Amino acid sequence: MILVTGAAGGQQGATGRKVAELLLERGEEVRAFVRADDERAAELRKLGAEVVVGDLREITTVRPAMRGVTRAYFTYPVTAGLLDATAAFAAAAREEGVSRVVEVSQLDAQPEAGTPRMRRHWLSEQVFDWAGVGAVHLRAGVFFENLAVVVAAAGRLALPLGPPSTKIPLVAGADVARVGAGLLLDPDPVDPVCLLTGEMSTAGAAAEALGVEYADLPPEEWEAGAMEVYRDAYAVEHLTHLWALFRAIGDGDHPLYRVTGTIERHGGQPPLTLREFATG
Ligand SMILES: NC(=O)c1ccc[n+]([C@@H]2O[C@H](COP(=O)([O-])OP(=O)(O)OC[C@H]3O[C@@H](n4cnc5c(N)ncnc54)[C@H](OP(=O)(O)O)[C@@H]3O)[C@@H](O)[C@H]2O)c1
């Protein structure tokens, strides 16, 4: 039995939903953890998943969901509560003797990272490591879907990234999910850290691939409008710091700015391009 969280799929990458579908297509037994018993849960049941409803931050719902589970996929959206959810999930997985937890983290999850969310991801990784549950950390670049949200809201790629030559490491939510499913099904030992960048782009090239113009917003203007789009102060704080980091690096080099071979190795196909995502 494989437990998949975030299985309903949200706005950020819907990686849990895609992992659940990939595993079900391969005939695996999937327990889908969702927050609400809505139409998305009904679709998961139709696809053959066992659905459990709960809150990842609440051990009383996570613990029963873990019973009989051998492997698990953990994802928690960019909002408050990551460390509560991590602690509950890690404790329950440890108690159950789960042998592999594949969890979604961010490209630069480090104790000195430039956004509070990235630093929390590093802490979350530590907790999973201490739990001894065979944790694999998917350190992903910016999801294509993240840019699509900006375009949907503004009609152009309006971001405070500076000139169009500013670089951005990108990856499709679908590729994160393919790698997640591949790692969950891999019987062999795997590296505990998996860097995931499918395309190194720039602000200008990304806008072109999405078929829109790029507009460099002054950081204050972006921050002032962001609450309307994201309706979550935690997400706005993270994104504000994230765009500032990219803006500061500009078209310079960074050790994490490279397309990784992990997508093809664990996901079974070459990375999707942003253009394919936009036209697909
Ligand atoms: N966006 C990016 O550019 C990016 C880049 C790198 C890494 N990441 C990482 O990717 C992760 C998020 O990706 P994702 O594709 O899973 O996000 P997503 O598409 O937003 O899905 C999140 C899922 O979690 C569920 N959920 C939210 N709060 C919950 C709770 N308290 N208990 C149980 N379920 C809950 C949501 O359910 P409802 O829909 O019902 O609320 C939704 O199904 C984050 O860790 C983020 O840091 C994101």
- Structural domains for the chain: 2-140+173-195+255-268 (3.40.50.720)
By percentage, how much of the chain surpasses pLDDT 90? 99
Among 35, 119, 139, 242, the mutation site with the greatest number of ligand 1 atoms within 8 A of its Cβ is: 35
In a 3-state reduction of DSSP, which class is residue 168? strand
By percentage, how much of the chain surpasses pLDDT 70? 100
End-to-end CA distance of the chain: 32
Stretch 112-140: mean pLDDT:
98
Is ligand 1 within 6 A of the CB of residue 12?
Answer: yes
Is ligand 1 within 6 A of the CB of residue 78?
Answer: yes
Nearest-angstrom CA–CA distance, 182 and 185: 5
Residue 280: its pLDDT value, please?
Answer: 87
Residue 249: its pLDDT value, please?
Answer: 98
Is ligand 1 within 6 A of the CB of residue 76?
Answer: yes
Q: From edge to edge, which strands make up the β-sheet containing 135-140?
A: 50-53, 30-34, 2-4, 71-74, 100-106, 135-140, 193-196
Stretch 250-277: mean pLDDT:
98
Residue 104: pLDDT over 90: yes
Residue 59: pLDDT over 90: yes
Q: How do strand 167-171 and strand 199-202 relate by DSSP bridges?
A: antiparallel
- pTM across the whole model: 0.98
- Over residues 6-33, the pLDDT tens digits come to 999 998 999 999 999 999 999 999 999 9
Residue 3: its pLDDT value, please?
Answer: 99
Among 12, 107, 151, the mutation site with the greatest number of ligand 1 atoms within 8 A of its Cβ is: 12
Average pLDDT, the chain: 97
User: Which residue's CA lies nearest to atom 39 of ligand 1?
Assistant: 10
